[in-house]
Amino acid sequence: MRQRIVEETEKGGVRGGIDGTGGPGGGVEQGSMTIKLRILLCVLMLELSGYGLVLYLNYRSAQEGLATVREQQIGATFLGYLHKINALTNAMERNARDLAIAGERYHALRDVAGVAVVTSHIEQHLLRNFEGLSEALGGGLWFEPFAFDPGRRYFGPYAFREGPRIRFTWDLSQDSYDYLRQSWYLKALPADWPRTRRPDRWVVWTEPYYDDAGSKALMMTVDALMFDDAERIIGMATVDWSTEKMRQFVSDIRITPGSFPFLIDRQSGKFVSFGANPARVMTPAAAEPWAADVLAGYRTGELRSIRDVRWNGRPHRIYTIGTDIGLVLGLFIPEHEILQELQPGLRQNLIYGAIVSVSFILVMALALTVLFRPFQRVLAQISRSLRRDSGSLALSPLSYQARNEFTPIVNALNDVFMHISEFTASLAAANEALAAKQAEVNELNISLEHKVRERTEELAHKNQALEQSVEELRDTQQQLVEAEKHAALNQLVAGVAHEVNTPIGVAVTAASLLQDELTRILAMARSGRIDARALQRELATSCEAIDMTLANLQRAVGMVRTFKQISVDQSSEARRRFHVRAYIDDIFLSLRPRLKQSPVQVRVDCESDFEIDSYPGALSQIITNLVINALTHAFPGRRAGVITLAIEQHEGRCLIHFRDDGVGIAADHLPHIFEPFFTTRRGQGGSGLGLHIVYNLVSKTLGGRIRCDSELGKGCHFLVDIPLKVG
């Protein structure tokens, strides 16, 4: 601090003086804020803060009141639409129940009046029923197989609306339609439901669906089960309800100009009506982020509101209410339209508040001007006591005769001026000593920079040598990895020779037998002592030898073809489409010689022979290395065990579960198994590269992931997760 005072003294004194007016006399720096202005701004901020708080509280109170009134209006409107929808659905349910009761009576009368007579009455009943039910597209009575007519599996009389007329048909009682397997039938009566057991709900609504068999309209079907005298389920009555009329009056709901309605079926989670975009009808509502809150809070007849929902970048409020059959009626209302009635009052309050604030500021400015006059006189005295003389600051005592609150301040300033003069000389001497020390530090810095430069050059040479060593080590590691891959291919070639020898040997033996038989037949023919029975016996033996020869040669050809494909895949990096299960079988066929030498059993489980577009050679190398690793480490001392390979596809991925019931992996070894050259059998044939190669093939070549879980004594589990199509 002393150094700073001396420097400012040497540069020509204090900048601008300390005049409170900020004028040329040098009060404070030009452009700085005076105390009077600060006080005025502070009072203004307090006044504006208080007024803004009062205005905000009034606005919030009015907002809550208006929102409550709006919710009451919306609730009354929604209840009206809710009663209308419930009245329509209740009428459909009553009609379905009445049809079910009629169907039960007709079923009871068929043994008395005869099937033909009762069938005629059913037709007339259905025609009369739907002539008086304009909201229905149609309906019918659908009996269980042979429940009504022992000679007919399908007995489903159906009436439907065609323009202004009601038509009757048996067209849906056919094998081609098979109403017993239709979704609307299985909704109320699943195929595995015991027909002697009465369900808790015998009137059921289906999800909305398009009528593919008739009108192509969007509709819902209400099913009412029918029972005989023994309480056995004999079928159901249905009423097909067109949702067009309901969707029409739902789309006309408007509370504010920017509001729009929607209707969601809770069973399927799909839109039945969506005022903002009619194309969204029968699409999943879950695509909208707000739909989960709407469906999770479903309550029949209860009005709910969800705030702060963004639609087209603007905040909205959603109001919802649930119907009796699981439909959710909702309405989007922009937040600004709910509160737009507050805007005129808020604007008027702002105008009045601005007038009051300006008046208050003018009064405060006048009061501060009067109150600050004595303070300005003292500042003028202080400014005159400071002057520059030959580049240095000269301080003279203050002369103030008045006796008031500023008298102690003036006396204290005179004492400060005296001490400043005394310290100025000592600070100048200290600055000279500091400059000498600074020169010494500069020399030391130059020497230190020279030493740092030398150490940096030496470190750069060492880093270059280290990088060269790392590159050589990387090349060596790559050569070892390639050698490990070729070792697996060499084992495959040895297995080919061993496996092909057996069928070829059998074929040679059979060919030799065939040669002997043909020689015998030729000898018999030359001697003229051949008879039909002996000839047939010899020819039969020859045919068996030919069949045996062909079968074993074909087996050898198939094995050679399989081994050839596996070897080509392992030695190349070609990508192609292939069947997973068939290719896995080929891999294990190539591993058969190695597996025959071990008491370990292998089990393969693949849910289906699906295809993948990938690198078969990489997959073959992965399975081969995992099997050999398990035989080497999991079952020491030719211990018996089981290796299980399970393959499945899940969400566009191929999951390969490789398990063994061997000795397991220690917990401290598990994090290092995929590292290169890590092995627990160093010096016993283990290279430490098998699982490292597997990890690189899965993550780099196939673009997948691999994970290992294991405990000592509980076996090991590898999970390989790869895409069905390599990107």
105 and 180 fall within a common domain:
yes
Give me the pLDDT at residue 13, please.
43
Question: Which comes out higher in pLDDT, residue 707 or 479?
Answer: 707
Beta strand 314-322 with 304-311 is antiparallel
Q: Is 19 left (phi over 0), alpha (psi -120 to 50) or beta?
A: beta
CA angle 658, 664, 667 (to 5 degrees): 115
The answer to whether position 635 is within a domain reads yes
678 and 607 fall within a common domain:
yes
Structure tokens belonging to residue 588: 């294990």
DSSP for 206-239, please give it.
PPPEE-TTTT--EEEEEEEEEE-TTS-EEEEEEE
Task: Quote the longest CA-to-CA distance of the chain.
Answer: 168
The answer to whether position 80 is within a domain reads no
102 and 214 fall within a common domain:
yes
What is d(CA 555, CA 547) in angstroms, rounded to the nearest whole number? 12
Q: How many domains does the chain have?
A: 4
Give me the pLDDT at residue 569, please.
55
The answer to whether position 4 is within a domain reads no
Cα end-to-end distance, the chain, whole Å = 68
HSE, CB side, 13 Å, CA atoms: give it for residue 373. 5
pLDDT for 252-279, tens place per residue? 888 788 888 999 998 889 999 998 888 8
151 and 257 fall within a common domain:
no
458 and 317 fall within a common domain:
no
CB 99 within 8 A of CB 141: yes
697 and 590 fall within a common domain:
yes
CA angle 594, 599, 601 (to 5 degrees): 85
- 368 pLDDT above the threshold of 80: no
User: Considering the chain, what is the average pLDDT of its residues?
Assistant: 79
Record the pTM: 0.43
529 and 580 fall within a common domain:
no
500 and 586 fall within a common domain:
no
Type of residue found at 119? T
The answer to whether position 113 is within a domain reads yes
What is d(CA 391, CA 428) in angstroms, rounded to the nearest whole number? 14
Beta strand 600-606 with 641-650 is parallel
The answer to whether position 175 is within a domain reads yes
At residue 29 the predicted structure's pLDDT band, cuts being 50, 70 and 90, is very low
Alpha carbon of 322 to those of 272, 298, 329, 440: distances in Å? Answer: 14, 6, 6, 87
Picking from 180, 207, 235, the residue at the C-terminal end of a domain is 235
Residue-range definition of the domain harbouring residue 205? 88-235
Q: What percent of the chain has pLDDT over 70?
A: 77
What is d(CA 173, CA 142) in angstroms, rounded to the nearest whole number? 9
In this prediction, residues 85-104 reach a mean pLDDT of 92
Structure tokens belonging to residue 173: 């009682």
Picking from 338, 356, 385, the residue at the C-terminal end of a domain is 338
CB 272 within 8 A of CB 283: no
Give me the pLDDT at residue 22, please.
43
- 82 pLDDT above the threshold of 60: yes
- 20 pLDDT above the threshold of 50: no
165 and 209 fall within a common domain:
yes
538 and 592 fall within a common domain:
no
Picking from 235, 268, 299, the residue at the C-terminal end of a domain is 235
Alpha carbon of 549 to those of 465, 466, 506, 514, 515: distances in Å? Answer: 66, 65, 7, 9, 12
Give me the pLDDT at residue 1, please.
43
In this prediction, residues 195-203 reach a mean pLDDT of 90
Give me the pLDDT at residue 28, please.
44
pLDDT for 517-549, tens place per residue? 788 787 777 787 777 777 777 777 778 767 667
Specify the range with the lowest mean pLDDT, choosing from 207-216, 241-250, 380-389. 380-389
- 608 pLDDT above the threshold of 80: no
The answer to whether position 169 is within a domain reads yes
The answer to whether position 538 is within a domain reads yes
257 and 130 fall within a common domain:
no
Which residues lie below 8 Å from residue 447, measured CB to CB, with a gap of 6+?
none
Q: Any idea what the CATH number is for the domain that residue 256 is in? A: 3.30.450.20
502 and 617 fall within a common domain:
no
The answer to whether position 368 is within a domain reads no
